[in-house]
Amino acid sequence: MAINKLALIRYKIIDNCLRQRHRKWTLDDLIERVSNGLYELEGIHSGVSKRTIQSDIQLMRSNKLGYSAPIIVIKRKFYTYEDPHYSISNTPLSDSDISKMKDAVDILKHLNGFAYFEEMSDIIARLENNLSKQEDTSASYIQLESNKLLKGLNWITPIHKAIREKIPLLITYKSFKSKSEQEAVYFPYLLKEYRNRWFVICKSKKGKTLMTLALDRIIDIAEMAKSGYIAYEGVDFERYYADTIGVTKSERDRGRRVILHVDRHHAPYVLTKPIHASQQLLKTEENGDILIRLDVVLNFELEREILGFGECVKVLGPRILRDRIKRRVYHMLQQYLTQAKNKDTADILQ
């Protein structure tokens, strides 16, 4: 069954509304939101009729498009999803969709021979592998890093839309350090992924500096009026994060010269997979050990990267980073030197 562009826009707007469980949606609310969305996206002034939205809801409930959306009506008035985690974006691809995407992947594979498309090799491999898994039950030929228990991935689409369309977001957020959730208006600027965890780089309506919010700590999101959006006017984010491992950085942080000693067993690994794009080989010693230089911000992710090499990497400078690593290694050692303090722990280890 073919879906025209306007119908797909309506389905997505309705889906986005029903996933926002902080408010109750009447049929009139959905009509208003869809009409506004069609005006903003397509410049359509006529809006939509009550009958059109009712038909859209019935079609989304059915399996004609593969949605089978669990849309229910509460108190004969308010529309919502019975399953709070449902979204039409999570529905599997139809046979027709898979066929069309395979054709697109074939075209991309031909274009991949051009220099402009060299960076797409990874994307093409991912698409081809995922399409093969959708199409049949044959074994996967590529195993990609993933974490199925990761939370917050459902916020990627609405945040990406807000960044693209310059929409302020009312975000309910609970950090690991906070005892209770906080609600505030943010202006989103960038979605950034690091080691399978997603973050939104934004600025609070009441703040002046950039903030980094983890998507897995977001409780809820609601769109605000576009007129209140304040655009980002700093340096482009490619440059902003060029001296950073991970996402932890303030606007005042600058890259520092970091010198690392790597033993001969890990030298080939570090040389073939640089810790950071700024990595330089300073010296190769007679026994095969190497000295490398990084120009990076001294943040938590850098420390975790260094600690991940264990005894095979030593920080020579700067002193502040060397002292941080020494302190953390000392505390790690204390964890192992301290015996189990109670019987419960001893029982678990047995």
> Using one digit for the tens of pLDDT, what is the confidence trace for 212-255?
999 999 999 999 999 999 999 988 999 999 999 999 998 889 99
pLDDT of residue 97: 65
> Is 308 exposed, middle or buried, given 0-12, 13-18 or 19+ CB atoms closer than 10 A?
exposed
165 and 40 Cβ atoms separated by less than 8 Å: yes
From the CB of residue 85, how many other CB atoms can be counted at a distance below 10 Å? 8
State which residues form the domain around 318: 256-337
Using the predicted structure, report yes or no on whether residue 107 has a pLDDT greater than 90: no
Decide: 292 and 314 in contact? Cβ < 8 Å. Answer: no
Band of pLDDT at residue 1, cut at 50, 70 and 90: very low
What CATH number is associated with residue 68? 1.10.10
Which DSSP letter does residue 76 get? T
- pTM score, whole prediction: 0.65
Asked if 258 and 293 count as a contact pair (C-beta separation under 8 A), the reply is: yes
Based on the fold, state whether residues 48 and 67 are members of the same structural domain.
yes
128 assigned to some structural domain: yes
Indicate which CATH number applies to the domain containing 171: 2.30.30
On the question of a cis peptide bond just before residue 318, with omega within 30 degrees of 0, the verdict is yes
Question: Does 66 map to a domain?
Answer: yes
Structurally, the chain folds into a number of domains equal to: 4
Residue 157 structure tokens: 């689409």
Q: Which two tokens stand for residue 334?
A: 């204390």
